[in-house]
Structure 1
Amino acid sequence: MSDNGLSQSAVARAVGVTSPVVNQYLHGKYPGNVQEIERKIAAYLQKQREREAERKLEVDYVLTTTAKRVRDVLRLAHVEGEAVVLFGQAGLGKTSSLREYCKQAPDALMIETDPTYTAKVLLQKLAAMLGAEGKGSLNELMDSVVGRLRDSGRIILVDEAENLPLRALECLRRVHDKTGCGLVLAGMPRLLVNLRGKNGELKQLYSRMAFKLDLGESVPDEDLAQIVAQAMPDMDEEAAAELVRTAAGNARRLDKMLRGVVRLARINRQEPSVEMVRQFAEMLIH
C-alpha cells in the first residue's frame, strides 16, 4: 500500500471493511478470515495499478519525412491560395498533420467531415467558425461565408473529404474561386475518384486542384522509428524495432501499440519488451 501511496482508511473503504480491520491485518492480529481480506486487498491494489497504467502515454507530433511533405504542401496552398488534394490510406497521419498545421497557423479553418455532411451542413459549419450568419438558403449561406473569407488569405482544411457529396464539393470549389482562400481536401484514395467523377465528367471541379500529394499505402519504417524514439527514448532497441515491424507501415497502429505496450509494462512493473509488443500486436484488429 505504501508503494501506491494509499492510506489504511482509503483501502478499508474500497474493500468494504473498517480501518481497524486493515490495521489489525497489517500487524498480523486480525482474528477473522485472513485469506478473504488478502483477496480483497490484492484485487483492489491490482485495480489501482491498472488505473495508474491507464494514464496515457503522450505521443507528441513528430516532424517525420512524411509530415514535412504534408506541411510543405499545406503551406503552399495557404500562402499561394491554391487548392490541393491530399490522399492516402487510413492511418498515415493525415488528420494529425492537419491538426498540427492549425496549431501553427491560427487562421486555418479545419472541418472534420462525416457521412452526414450535406452542402448545407458544410456551409453552416464554415459560417459558425467564421462567426457569420448560419441560417437561410444555401445561396444565403454561400454569400455569408464568402463575405467573411474574401481576400482574407485564410485556408480551409477539409478532413475525410471523401465523405462529401458532389454538391458540397462544388460549394467548396465556389468558395475557393470567389475568395482566393487556400483549400485542402484530405482523405482516402477514393477522394480522387470523387473529384474526377467515375467517367471523368467532373472536369471543372478536378481542374481547380492545383496540386496533389499521394501518401501511398504506408509510412516508411524510418518515420515510424523516429516516432518511437521520440515517444520512448529509453526503450530497448529490440523492442523498438519490433514495434516498427509490427506497426506494418501504419502510424495509427503504431500509436495504439505504443500506448498498449506502455500500459502492459506499467501494470507488470517491467520495462517494455519484445514479448509485450508481440502480445499486444495479437490483440489489435487493425
Structure 2
Amino acid sequence: MNKVFVRTKNVKKFVALMEEVKQLPANIPKIVLVFGEYGLGKSETIKWWTFKNDCIYVRANQGMTSRWLLSEIAEELGEEAFWHIQDTFNLVEQKLKQNPKPLIIDEVDYLVTNNVIEILRDLHDRTGCPMILVGMINIDKKLSRYPHLKDRIYKTFKFEPYDKQDIMQILSELSEIPITNDGLEYLATRHNQLRQIVKLINKIEKLAKTNELKELNEKNLRSILSERQNITTLQTSKQIFT
C-alpha cells in the first residue's frame, strides 16, 4: 500500500479554514470546532496538519482532569508541569505568549462532562492563540452547556461522509496495484469509512499478488472478492484473467 496522505474534499476544506484562521485579526476569537462521524479521517487529517505546521497537539483521554490536560500541553511545549495547577497554567500561558502557535485538542468530547474544557477557554482568552477542538458528531450540542465557550467559536467544520469521488480517490492513490476506472466504480460501492477502505485495499493487494495480477478491473475484482471462492480457486484464477 502506498504511504501517502490523500487530500479528500474534507482535507482541502479544513486546510483552507486553517489558513483563514491564521489571517484573523487579534480581536477576533480563534476557536474552531471540528467534528464528524468516526471513520472520515478527522484524526488522520489533524495529525497530518500538525506535522506540517508548528502547533501543539494533545489527545484528550477518558477521565482527564484540568491538571492532566495542562501537564500534557506543558510537555508538548517542552516544559515540566508544576505541582500546583495555577503555576502550570501560568507556565503554559507564558510560553504561548512568547511563541504563539495553534493548540489542537483531539477527542475533546472527554473534556465536556467534568468542565475541564473551561480551562481551554481561559487559555484562549489569555494567549489569543488559535484553538482547534476536535470531537465526534454531537460535540456541538454538548458544548451548548458552555455558552461563554460557544460564543468564542469562530467557525464549525463538519467532516462530511465520503462521496463516490472521495472513495475512488482514496482507492486510486493508496493502492500499489493500478485499478481501472470500472474497478474503482465497483469498489466505491463497498465501503465508505477510511479504516474499512484501507482494509479493503490491503485485501485486494494481497489477492492480486497471490494471483500475479498487474492491474485490477471490475471483472477480476468481482472474481477474487467473491465469498464463494475457496483458496484453491484463488490460487488458480490467474488462468481466467490471461
TM category (shorter chain) comes to 0.7 to 0.9
1:215 to 136, 159, 163: 159
Q: For the structure 1 residues 152 and 76, does the alpha-carbon distance in structure 2 shift closer, same or farther, using more than 3 Å as the test? A: farther
Counterpart residue identity of residue 238, structure 1: D
Fraction of identical pairs, as percent: 22
Is 1:171 the counterpart of 2:114? The answer is no
Aligned to 2:44: 96
Moved more, 126-135 or 83-92: 126-135
Aligned to 2:14: 70
C-alpha distance in structure 2 between counterparts of 1:275 and 1:126, whole Å: 51
C-alpha distance in structure 1 between counterparts of 2:18 and 2:149, whole Å: 19
Is 1:241 the counterpart of 2:185? The answer is yes
- RMSD of aligned alpha carbons: 2.1
C-alpha distance in structure 2 between counterparts of 1:157 and 1:114, whole Å: 14
Contact 2:61 2:107 (8 Å CA) reproduced: yes
Deviation (angstroms), 1:234: 1.6
Deviation (angstroms), 1:122: 1.0
Counterpart residue identity of residue 39, structure 2: G
C-alpha distance in structure 2 between counterparts of 1:159 and 1:277, whole Å: 36
TM-score after normalising by structure 1:
0.69
Structure with the bigger RCO (C-alpha within 8 Å, sep 6+) is: 2
Aligned to 2:69: 122
Counterpart residue identity of residue 38, structure 2: A
TM-score after normalising by structure 2:
0.81
Structure 1, unpaired ranges of 5+: 1-56, 280-286
C-alpha distance in structure 2 between counterparts of 1:109 and 1:252, whole Å: 25
Secondary structure at the counterpart of residue 139 of structure 2: helix
C-alpha distance in structure 2 between counterparts of 1:205 and 1:277, whole Å: 49
Aligned to 1:9: none
Secondary structure at the counterpart of residue 210 of structure 1: strand
1:252 to 173, 195, 198: 195
Contact 1:151 1:180 (8 Å CA) reproduced: no
Contact 1:83 1:209 (8 Å CA) reproduced: yes
Counterpart residue identity of residue 103, structure 2: I
Aligned length: 216
Contact 2:40 2:193 (8 Å CA) reproduced: yes
Contact 2:35 2:157 (8 Å CA) reproduced: yes
Contact 2:57 2:76 (8 Å CA) reproduced: no
Contact 1:243 1:254 (8 Å CA) reproduced: no
Contact 1:71 1:97 (8 Å CA) reproduced: no
Q: For the structure 1 residues 123 and 79, does the alpha-carbon distance in structure 2 shift closer, same or farther, using more than 3 Å as the test? A: farther
